[in-house]
Amino acid sequence: MKVPLPPRRLIPKWRPVASTLKTTEAKPTLERKPEEFTGNADEFEKAVNLWLDTKEPGVLGDVLSFSVHPELNERAIRIGEEALRIGAQVTQAQKSLIRDIRDEPMIIQSGANFPFQRPIQKLRDILRNTPDNPLALLDYAQFQLAVGKKRASERALMTALSLSPNNRIILRTLARFLVHVKEAEHAHRLIYRHANTLHDPWLMASEIALANAAGTKSRFIMPGRQYLKTRLDINPAHITELAGAIAIEELHSGHMKRARESYMRALFAPNDNVIAQAVTCREEFGLDLHTQTVTQAIQLSSEALTLQAMFDFKPKLMMEHALNWHAEESFSSRPIQLLATTYAYIGDFAIGLQWIQAGLLANPNDPGLLVSLAYIQAQLGKEKESFAAMQKLLNIDAAYSPYCKATTGLIHYSHGRYEIGDSLYESAIIEFNKTNRHAVGTFCLINQVFSAADYNHPEINRIIASAQMAMKEHPSQDALLLLNVRSNKYLLGEQPENKKLRRMTQWFFDPASNTLFEKKGLTAPGAEPLIMLNRT
């Protein structure tokens, strides 16, 4: 079993700084290609000797980057402490690293290819080349958060804010961190109280989205609407998130016409955050995303590509893009959930477990990860560990009881106790349906079918019949993805027909003048992309 991904909001994305600096949120900059982290002891000795000769902070950063190596960690930190003792030039990021790993060593096995290979490479690049620039602390903070060091991450972010208190990238990144650690109200206050929010569309957008996350009223919906109305001269790329955030609020308020108008404006020049939201909400807005601008934006967003592949039931493609998404947001549980469960569905339980354990470093109480952990441990025959994960899940929220019942049913199936397993699965499905989670109930039934097949249930045909009926009445996105990962030999469901969507542009061809022209504006549902004019 897996938990459906939680609702997506337009809260700020926390990308690598090099990626953010390429967007309209900041001035573009050249990105150095990160060198592969090898952990080679000879390289370490060269870096140490060079620092002893030069005492340059860039060289010290190279020495400190080896602190992730289990055999070189202690000596690297001794050199860092020596630099502080003699008053050598040390950047703020390096000071933070020396303090943090002296108190709590950050050691990653050097031979691991995932989940943190690319973040380690990024960390090394940061520490080797950090100027006196507070933005460098953002990447450092992200890696610390990804390996479970929330306090170290927060210290780095607060240091960056103190060095540059009006920098919108730092403000938005700190707000994203606060949402991650379940302090959405704090994140909202940070943005709405800042003086720059009054005239900065990026901060207005963040305030609106964070108010939604905090369950409070936004102060900037009306000012945001006015900004969009009066600032028609502004680059559309600078208002994409503001228009998108307002569109979502209009949608939730039932003002579909205004919601579509705002969202069309958001999609004139969408960034990776807006385009991922557009892929998620495409049916809610009823908009066809097949325009050149939108298609190009999707190709530049790992998250959007992952979600699009998931909605199109292409698991291999989804996993490929999810790996890139994880490399960009290594602290986030969302790509890890998709990766771990898909590995589990194809039978690579050990790899799925490794991803879950990585995700739990940054998100130790994430219900989606714990549900997947219990399921994978059960499949691996580690029943004690599976029950421990389920108990932790129930301590967080008893509403996850049906997931635990389904996993317990799987365990009984594995021992041939089919009647007990049937009872537990049935109870889980009843609970899902009672709480209007009918699609999750269908997904539970599909899981039951495959568990029954894996453990030779004598009445599997009865379970298949129930699943077929459920798929007709309450089709499930997750169930269809699972069927595509494994096998649809049980004829449990087919890809649903696409909903008729409205186009944002339409092309017209005039054969008389041999001209092709584009007309912008919302079309009727299901309109053709190209219209041939019949003129005589």
pLDDT tens for the chain, 536 residues long, are: 677 777 788 889 988 777 776 777 763 323 334 344 444 577 778 888 888 888 877 677 777 767 656 567 778 878 888 888 888 888 776 776 677 666 655 544 444 444 555 555 555 565 555 545 677 788 888 888 988 889 989 988 998 898 889 899 999 999 999 999 999 999 999 999 999 999 999 999 999 999 999 999 999 999 999 999 888 788 888 999 999 999 999 988 888 888 888 988 898 889 999 999 999 888 887 777 777 788 888 998 999 999 999 888 888 899 999 999 998 898 999 999 999 989 998 889 999 999 999 899 889 999 999 999 999 999 999 999 999 999 999 999 999 999 999 999 999 999 999 999 999 999 999 999 999 999 999 999 999 999 999 999 999 999 999 998 998 899 888 888 888 887 665 556 555 555 566 656 666 666 676 666 667 666 666 666 666 666 54
- Gyration radius from the chain CA atoms: 26
> Partners of 506 in the beta sheet?
519
Alpha carbon distance 122, 261 (integer Å): 40
CB atoms within 10 A of CB 251: 18
DSSP string for residues in 185-226: HHHHHHHHTSGGGGT-HHHHHHHHHHHHHHTS--SSHHHHHH
Alpha carbon distance 245, 238 (integer Å): 13
Alpha carbon distance 179, 272 (integer Å): 19
Residue 25 corresponds to which tokens in the numbers above? Answer: 């949120």
Residue 525 corresponds to which tokens in the numbers above? Answer: 């549902």
CA distances from 282 to 344, 432, 500 (A): 28, 26, 11
Backbone angles phi, psi at 190, to 5 degrees: -55, -40
Helix or strand holding residue 526 (H, E): none
Q: Is the peptide bond before 57 cis (omega within 30 degrees of 0)?
A: no
Alpha carbon distance 521, 527 (integer Å): 12
Alpha carbon distance 404, 389 (integer Å): 9
CA distances from 509 to 222, 289, 530 (A): 41, 21, 7
Residue 350 corresponds to which tokens in the numbers above? Answer: 């050990």
CB atoms within 10 A of CB 83: 21
| Amino acid occupying residue 121 | Q
Q: Which of 249, 238, 159 is CA-nearest to residue 210?
A: 249
Q: Is the CB of residue 441 less than 8 Å from the CB of residue 432? A: yes
pTM: 0.75
Please report which residue ranges of 87-135 form alpha helices under DSSP H: 92-103, 117-129
Q: How far apart are the first and last CA of the chain?
A: 62
Residue 288 corresponds to which tokens in the numbers above? Answer: 């066809």
Torsion over CA: 470, 472, 475, 478 (sign)? positive
Q: Which of 371, 308, 312 is CA-nearest to residue 336?
A: 371
The residues, ordered by sequence, that sit 6+ positions from 432 with a Cβ below 8 Å of its Cβ are: 402, 438, 440, 441, 444
Residue 308 corresponds to which tokens in the numbers above? Answer: 């699009």
- Longest Cα–Cα distance of the chain, Å, equals 88
Strand pairing report for 530-532 and 505-510: parallel
CA distances from 291 to 110, 505, 518 (A): 44, 7, 11
CB atoms within 10 A of CB 132: 11
Alpha carbon distance 380, 343 (integer Å): 13
Alpha carbon distance 403, 426 (integer Å): 12
Q: Is the CB of residue 468 less than 8 Å from the CB of residue 432? A: no
> Partners of 287 in the beta sheet?
502
The residues, ordered by sequence, that sit 6+ positions from 313 with a Cβ below 8 Å of its Cβ are: 480, 481, 483, 484, 495
